[in-house]
Amino acid sequence: MPKKLPSADQSVMKLRQINVLVAQGWNIGQACKAAEITEQSYYRRRNQYGGGRRSRRSKGNIEYRNAIPDGSSASRGGHCDTSQRSGLTKMC
């Protein structure tokens, strides 16, 4: 008979356990060994269940999209003159 796979709850608990150990200074290999899973399983489960990692600057992040002031030429899609002496116009 094939081996029974762990439930989603069990996988998330293992991920949390490993995250706690890593926060305490353990490396991933040691934490996985303590949680009795392989590193490959850890990375696969982290990708599958999220693992608590969040992107700082994703395209969907509203705070990042709103970081450009409304009055800037970059928000209008135009050019700005950054070197007035040479007369060159550069993209902002």
Q: Can you tell me which residue has the tokens 């209008």?
A: 76
pLDDT at 35: 95
Output the tens digit of pLDDT for each of the chain's 92 residues: 888 888 999 999 999 999 999 999 999 999 999 999 999 999 999 999 985 555 555 555 555 555 656 555 554 555 555 555 555 555 55
Do the Cβ atoms of 62 and 53 come closer than 8 Å? Answer: no
d(CA 72, CA 85): 21
Tokens of 7: 């439930």
Tokens of 33: 């060994």
Task: Give, as one character, the DSSP assignment of residue 2.
Answer: P
d(CA 75, CA 71): 7
| Domain layout of the chain by residue ranges | 1-53
pTM: 0.54
Tokens of 18: 């490993």
